[in-house]
Amino acid sequence: MAYDEKLAIRLREVLSQSPGIIEQKMFGGLCFLLDRKMICGVLKDDLIVKIGRKNHERIATQKHVRPFDFTGKPMKGMIYVAPAGLKTKKELSKWVELAKEYAQTLPPRK
């Protein structure tokens, strides 16, 4: 299993009321896009969250968070959130909302 299907189901539930969401397989996991812009995903047991470079330093030091280093080099603006930080719907929703807010600041994709 490349990603935690239970976490993917929980993400679908949190995102179910958001128009413009699509799913796409990426990074060997599953990603969710809002208006064709990646916002979050699941890789193994972790949540991937796109937060933007401006938010990176402040958020990357929070509990249960580590830099997204899928390529071996940390990517600023993306983080992993460990399962311990996603136990409740409220915790998961917090990360999803943060990602959606960031995506809405980006210009439309062509």
Q: Which domains does the chain have, with CATH numbers?
A: 5-103 (3.90.1150.30)
What pLDDT shows up at residue 109? 79
What pLDDT shows up at residue 70? 82
What pLDDT shows up at residue 18? 93
Beta strand spans in the chain (E): 21-26, 29-34, 37-43, 46-50, 65-68, 75-81
Judged by phi (left if over 0) then psi (alpha if -120 to 50, else beta), residue 34 lies in beta
User: Rounded to an integer, what is the distance from CA 55 to the centroid of its chain?
Assistant: 14
What pLDDT shows up at residue 27? 79
What pLDDT shows up at residue 92? 98
Question: Which one, of 97, 93, 51, lies nearest residue 75 by Cα?
Answer: 51
Q: Name the pTM for this structure.
A: 0.93
Would you write out the chain's pLDDT as a tens digit for each of its 110 residues?
A: 589 999 999 999 999 999 999 999 987 899 999 999 999 999 999 999 999 999 999 999 999 999 999 888 888 999 999 999 999 999 999 999 999 999 999 998 77
What pLDDT shows up at residue 72? 84
Give the span between the Cα atoms of 96 and 77, in whole angstroms: 14
